[in-house]
């Protein structure tokens, strides 16, 4: 069986994380945990929304490097991408770092793809990798939907693009691990990259439904391959299916004999208060799962509140142009297994 | 020095390649070497240019798998990306393969980025990876410049987006290498990922000038780190600077004391006949270096015509939106060292 769960060759940890978010995210239930929150109408001191998004990535990577006391030349590569056409959030946001750059496109699965690839690159002999991603409500809205001024109405299944960026420093450096031995660092104990799954959904206002089958496919394969049970995990985190997609995922898995309802949470459902009517089915965008993992889930592993966590980052791999041509929305879900006790 | 040349842990070879191209490319000097050439106005049997581009990727990966006698479940991952917004050429083109999918964005450096990452993933313990990319003149033209019907004029420094796709199967499987021992397979003996370099060029009709400094930065670092000299290589291949960017690269390096003029060739200058006025400074687009490497350079290593080759894939990491906002064009150049005698 070639498409197996890939176990890192060496102990690989998340050495540091940083989360940067907009003012609405800052006012949400996780607001207290972000490293930087903007109070300038989410402009981060920039003139355009695209530059604001880039600035969030710059701030996030700078903060993650600083928290790990690392210089640029101590990172082997940075892996980054975002939702903007040609991934310009990352290209411009990270252009000031003299660190080898490998661009990714995984839509909302980018944080998971970056952590997964960073882990494998550490197994290949690189010492430390960064994974960075972002999304911005204002840059995404005008690119994917309507000009902000239009004030378009949305159906209840629609998700709200999160204004945020998350950065992760992944390390298998023995010195890093030795120095941190008093701390519980999240250890990546396995990864399972996803297939492209397209079940024919074409409603751009229901991305959760398009991505849930991809998450289900990866989760089912994981439990089949590993022999684990959902109760072996404190939390099974998806990012970002929102409320609509989360329901579909739990139902799809239940129909296959797998009940994850007790362990499952979704980053898109966690980032905003549930009673915020504007946010409809919850958050989405590359920055959503990135900032929830960077500022909430992974720190909770360090604090000892969580020990075994599965994270499935999901992405909708469509473009507005292809949907206008009658295309459907393919999804992908990449899985990462974290452990908090340092064991493999 | 952390940002070193990365040497694969195990012998890693390009097991097979495949090149698919449009009719103008097929009529060019390398036309005889492509696996598949379209005679249906570059539509590849599809209704839209985006679907035509996706179809090229599907055909290229299918052909590369077939040439290596591999099934889908014998590939650990496929790494792919393209120039289209949200990389839909890859997302849709490869959605029919049940192979774990990791999306990339490297603009015209995507083939180099994919081979580089595939090589490192083989070092991490994966058995075989595919790298796939594409570009299509008609889908790129309307996205980046003007509707085809407009018939806009171009300055002599402009490049022509190549209609082509290339696929590469990268393997460190001992059985593969043993089976191929009668054949000279191109061996990847080192990789050097590039930094993002932005020298302030903002002319979308002179991508070569924007990318040349990134290629120069990576090439200079390579020769400094390795102690090699240009004469140690039969060929130093860039893809795709075109004629304008190639001249700038050679001059930039010469001013730093490095003369690559005898070894340097550029994929953008090789794909079309030099007297084709329409093509101006030569070819560009993810598919250009992909198909030139897949169908010409790497096969020539197998035929014994080339032994030591440096390939530097360059990308212009801009978007039309950011340029309209007054932005400049960052470039990146990833280097791969190939050897044809099986040595490390």
pLDDT tens string A66-89: 999 999 999 999 999 999 999 999
CB contact under 8 A, A3 and B127: no
Q: Which of A118, A173, A196, A207 is the best substitution to test chain B (most B C-beta atoms within 10 A)?
A: A196
Q: Is B62 left (phi over 0), alpha (psi -120 to 50) or beta?
A: alpha
Nearest Cα of chain B lies from the Cα of A316 at a distance, in angstroms, of 10
Q: Which secondary-structure segment (H or E) carries A132?
A: strand A128-135
Q: What is the DSSP string of B1-65?
A: --SPPBPPSS--EEEEEEEEE-HHHHTSTTGGG-SEE--STT-TT-SSHHHHHHHHHHHHHHHHH
CB contact, 8 Å: B77 with chain A?
yes
Q: How far, rounded to the nearest angstrom, does the alpha carbon of residue B114 sit from its chain's CA centroid?
A: 9
Dist CA A75 CA A128 (whole Å):
5
> So where are chain B's domains?
13-175, 187-339
Nearest Cα of chain B lies from the Cα of A300 at a distance, in angstroms, of 28
User: What's the CATH superfamily of B187-339?
Assistant: Stage V sporulation protein AD (3.40.47.40)
**Whether pLDDT at A196 is above 50:** yes
Dist CA A207 CA A154 (whole Å):
13
Chunk chain B into consecutive blocks of 10 residues (it has 344) and report each block's average pLDDT, rounded to whole numbers.
Answer: 87 98 96 94 96 98 98 97 97 98 98 98 97 97 90 89 98 95 94 97 94 98 98 97 97 98 98 86 96 98 97 97 95 98 54
Residue B72 DSSP class: G
pLDDT tens figures, A18-69: 999 999 999 999 999 999 999 889 999 999 999 999 999 999 999 999 999 9
Q: Residues 177..216 of A with a Cβ closer than 8 Å to B: which?
A: 192-196, 198
Assigned token pair, B79:
């790494």
The answer to whether the B13-175 and B187-339 domains have the same CATH topology is yes
pLDDT given for residue B2 in this prediction: 58
Nearest Cα of chain A lies from the Cα of B201 at a distance, in angstroms, of 14
pLDDT given for residue A320 in this prediction: 94
pLDDT given for residue A176 in this prediction: 96
pLDDT given for residue A343 in this prediction: 47
Enumerate the residues of chain A whose CB falls inside 8 A of the CB of residue B125. 6, 9, 123
* Nearest-by-Cβ selection for A86 from B124, B319, B325: B319
Dist CA A121 CA A137 (whole Å):
31
pTM: predicted TM-score of the whole model, two decimal places: 0.98
CB contact under 8 A, B48 and A325: yes
Q: What is the DSSP string of A265-309?
A: EEHHHHSS-TT-GGGTT-EESHHHHHHHIIIIIHHHHHTTS--EE
Closest of B279, B60, B257 to residue B155, by C-alpha: B279
pLDDT given for residue B342 in this prediction: 52
User: What's the CATH superfamily of A186-339?
Assistant: Stage V sporulation protein AD (3.40.47.40)
Dist CA A339 CA A119 (whole Å):
14
From the candidate CATH numbers 3.40.47.40, 3.40.50.300, 3.40.225.10, 3.40.718.10, the one assigned to the domain spanning B13-175: 3.40.47.40
pLDDT tens figures, A96-123: 999 999 999 999 999 999 999 999 999 9
pLDDT tens figures, A161-187: 999 999 999 999 999 999 988 899 999
The burial class, CB within 10 Å (0-12 / 13-18 / 19+), for A16 is buried
Dist CA A36 CA B329 (whole Å):
28
Q: Which of A2, A58, A128 is the best substitution to test chain B (most B C-beta atoms within 10 A)?
A: A2
Enumerate the residues of chain B whose CB falls inside 8 A of the CB of residue A43. none
Q: Residue A153: pLDDT band by 50, 70, 90 thresholds? A: confident
């Amino acid at each position: 069986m070639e498409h197996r769960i890939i176990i890192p060759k060496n102990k690989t940890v998340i050495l540091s994380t940083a989360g940067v978010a907009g003012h609405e995210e800052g006012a949400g239930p996780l607001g207290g945990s972000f490293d930087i929150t903007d109070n300038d109408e989410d402009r981060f001191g920039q003139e355009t929304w695209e530059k604001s998004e880039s600035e969030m990535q710059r701030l996030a990577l700078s903060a993650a490097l600083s928290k790990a006391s690392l210089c640029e030349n101590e990172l082997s590569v940075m892996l980054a991408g975002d939702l903007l056409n040609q991934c310009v959030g990352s290209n411009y946001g990270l252009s000031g770092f003299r660190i080898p750059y490998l661009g990714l496109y995984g839509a909302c699965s980018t944080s998971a793809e970056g952590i997964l690839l960073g882990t494998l690159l550490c197994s290949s002999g690189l010492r430390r990798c960064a994974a960075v991603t972002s999304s911005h409500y204002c840059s995404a809205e005008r690119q994917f939907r309507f000009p902000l001024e239009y004030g378009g109405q949305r159906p209840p299944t629609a998700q709200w693009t999160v204004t945020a960026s998350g950065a992760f420093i992944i390390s298998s450096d023995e010195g890093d691990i030795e120095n941190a031995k008093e701390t519980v660092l999240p250890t990546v104990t396995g990864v399972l990259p996803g297939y492209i799954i397209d079940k024919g959904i074409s409603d751009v206002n229901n991305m959760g439904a398009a991505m849930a089958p991809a998450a289900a496919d990866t989760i089912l394969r994981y439990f089949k391959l590993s022999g684990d049970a959902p109760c072996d995990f404190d939390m099974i985190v998806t990012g970002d299916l929102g409320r609509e997609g989360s329901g579909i995922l739990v139902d799809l898995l239940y129909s296959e004999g797998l009940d994850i309802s007790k362990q499952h949470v979704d980053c898109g459902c966690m980032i905003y208060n549930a009673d915020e009517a504007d946010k409809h089915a919850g958050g989405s965008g590359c920055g959503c799962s990135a900032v929830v993992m960077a500022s909430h889930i992974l720190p909770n592993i360090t604090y000892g509140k969580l020990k075994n966590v599965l994270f499935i980052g999901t992405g909708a791999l469509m473009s507005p142009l292809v949907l206008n041509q009658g295309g459907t929305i393919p999804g992908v879900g990449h899985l990462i297994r974290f452990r908090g006790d340092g064991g493999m």
